Amino acid sequence: MNIEKLLTDKDLCRVLGISRVSSWRLRRKGALRFLKLEKGIRYTPEHVKAFIASRESEPSQQPIT
C-alpha cells in the first residue's frame, strides 16, 4: 500500500459525488471499508474501487442520500 495514495473523506466525497453524511452512512453500514488513522479516516484506492464495483453489480439498490 502506498501511503501517498490514501484518500481523505473530503477526497472520497469529491470522487464519488456524495456528501460527508453519506460517506459516514456508508462506513457505518459497512458498505465502504476504511482505515482509521491518527489524522482521521482514510480510504485506499482499492477500497473505493471495490465499493464502486459492488454498486455496479447491484443495480436495484436505492442511491445513498
pLDDT digits (tens, 9 = 90+) for 1-10: 566 689 999 9
DSSP 4: G
pTM: 0.75
CA–CA separation, 12 and 23 (whole Å): 8
| pLDDT at residue 58 is higher than 60 | no
| pLDDT at residue 22 is higher than 90 | yes
Provide the grid cell at 49: 474501487
CA–CA separation, 50 and 55 (whole Å): 9
Sorted by where each starts, the structural domains of the chain and their CATH numbers stand as 3-56 (1.10.1660)
